[in-house]
């Protein structure tokens, strides 16, 4: 069994594979590199077969999305750790060993992420992950180094290794045994929020998620769906509600989701005022999709018996509303939030 298997999920990402696979192969430190292909319709597979024969191809019969694609592919790969890597990430020399060293230092660590900086603006943190992920008590995600649209410059202000709430799926080292014990990502999510849901389940099961500042990668971001996209809006709103229902402590579920439904309605009205009718319609569809999922989610929540003892309000959950702190009180950085406590 390999110590680490680097696994890149691909869907019609030929251009990214051409640009970024060479850096992964050059700096993978002897680890096998896999590409799990989500039934691409471009020439991705031919490119891999002809130009990257060292890469091990895991073909999937359908486009299962990020969640289902990784869950299906990783069942076919044997390793102690999986390094899940987006196809639009450039790695740097020595990027992998600090992640493995951190995970090996503490058996409670189920997953960890490196520092994520922007490929286009390397002095800035990157939107999806930055220096580690958190959520507020209503389930809104944010990062050290990125609150909503405010992305900070990396001035080594977040160079401390620490436990976080979630690690980004853009580059995430996962302990394989724990990944399988928790049944992988929830394939119903398809894409977006699935890594936060998995990290929350891992924490509920007594594991830890960490940030490793000694490793840095550079992420393009938005490689599959652009930042402003009705499909992305639908997935984020639907999956966020499902994640809350599955993972919150019993006494917090209904009030939290009720508040979120109200805030989602406010967000939809604001989008209408901006002329973004498609996004408002996506939020409405997301709510009805969530209601349709409730019987399944109820059974799923009850089935997570091993997670119940730790289904608590974890200390990495911000106890205030990040929306109010950011938009009304003007707290634009993670340090501002810390000073508020």
Task: Concatenate the DSSP letters of all residues of 29-80 into one string.
Answer: TT--EEEEE---SSSHHHHHHHH-TTSEEEE-SS--HHHHHHHHHHTT--EE
Structural domain boundaries in the chain:
2-219, 230-310
Rounded Cα–Cα distance for residues 235 and 192 (Å): 6
How high does pLDDT run on average in the chain? 93
Q: What is the mean pLDDT of residues 285-294?
A: 96
Give the pLDDT of residue 303: 78
DSSP 8-state symbol, 183: T
Rounded Cα–Cα distance for residues 117 and 125 (Å): 4
Number of DSSP helices (H) and strands (E) in the chain, helices first? 11, 14
Residue 66 scores a pLDDT above 70:
yes
CA distances for 226 relative to 83, 229, 230, angstroms: 24, 6, 10
Assigned CATH topology for domain 2-219: Spore Coat Polysaccharide Biosynthesis Protein SpsA; Chain A (3.90.550)
pLDDT band of 130, cuts 50, 70, 90 = very high
**What are the tens digits of pLDDT across the range 111-126?**
999 999 999 999 999 9
Exposed e or buried b per residue across 163-192, where buried means at least 16 C-beta atoms within 10 angstroms of its C-beta = bbbbbbbbbbbbbbebbeebebbbbbbbbb
Rounded Cα–Cα distance for residues 82 and 167 (Å): 13
pLDDT band of 80, cuts 50, 70, 90 = very high
Task: Concatenate the DSSP letters of all residues of 203-269 into one string.
Answer: HHTT-EEEEEEEEEEEE---SSS-SS-HHHHHHHHHHHHHHHHHHS-GGGHHHHHHHHHHHHHHHHH
Helix, strand, coil percent values for the chain (each to nearest 5): 45, 20, 35
Residue 75 scores a pLDDT above 90:
yes
Cβ pair 289, 186 in contact under 8 A: no
Give the pLDDT of residue 341: 47
**What are the tens digits of pLDDT across the range 225-271?**
455 689 999 999 999 999 999 999 988 999 999 999 999 999 999 99
Give the pLDDT of residue 308: 54
Residue 223 scores a pLDDT above 60:
no
Residue 186 scores a pLDDT above 60:
yes
Give the pLDDT of residue 272: 92
Residue 213 scores a pLDDT above 80:
yes
Give the pLDDT of residue 148: 92
């Amino acid at each position: 069994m390999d110590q680490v298997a680097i696994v890149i999920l691909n869907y019609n990402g030929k251009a990214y594979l051409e640009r970024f696979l060479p850096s992964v192969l050059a700096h993978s430190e002897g680890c096998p590199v896999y590409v799990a292909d989500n039934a691409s319709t471009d020439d991705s597979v031919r490119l891999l077969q002809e130009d990257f024969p060292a890469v091990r191809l895991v073909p999937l019969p359908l486009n299962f999305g990020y969640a289902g694609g990784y869950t299906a592919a990783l069942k076919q790969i044997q390793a102690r750790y999986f390094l899940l890597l987006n196809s639009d990430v450039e790695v740097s020399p020595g990027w992998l060993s600090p992640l493995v060293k951190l995970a090996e230092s503490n058996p409670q660590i189920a997953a960890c992420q490196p520092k994520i900086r922007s490929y286009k603006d390397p002095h800035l943190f990157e939107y999806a992950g930055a220096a580690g992920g958190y959520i507020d008590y209503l389930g809104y995600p944010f990062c050290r180094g990125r609150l909503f649209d405010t992305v900070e410059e990396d001035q080594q202000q977040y160079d401390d290794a620490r436990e976080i709430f979630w690690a980004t799926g853009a580059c995430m080292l996962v302990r394989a045994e724990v990944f399988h014990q928790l049944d992988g990502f929830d394939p119903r999510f398809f894409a977006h929020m699935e890594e936060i849901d998995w990290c929350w389940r891992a924490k509920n099961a007594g594991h830890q998620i960490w940030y490793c500042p000694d490793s840095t990668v550079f992420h393009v971001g938005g490689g599959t769906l652009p930042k402003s996209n009705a499909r992305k809006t639908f997935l984020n709103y639907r999956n966020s509600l499902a994640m809350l229902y599955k993972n919150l402590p019993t006494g917090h579920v209904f009030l939290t989701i009720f508040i979120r439904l109200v805030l989602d309605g406010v967000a939809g009205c604001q989008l209408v005022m901006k002329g973004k009718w498609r996004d408002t319609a996506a939020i409405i569809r997301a709510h009805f999709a969530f209601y349709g999922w409730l019987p399944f989610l109820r059974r799923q929540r009850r089935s997570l018996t091993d997670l119940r003892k730790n289904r608590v309000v974890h200390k990495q959950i911000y106890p205030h509303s990040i929306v109010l702190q950011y938009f009304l009180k003007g707290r634009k950085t993670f340090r501002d939030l810390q000073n508020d406590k």
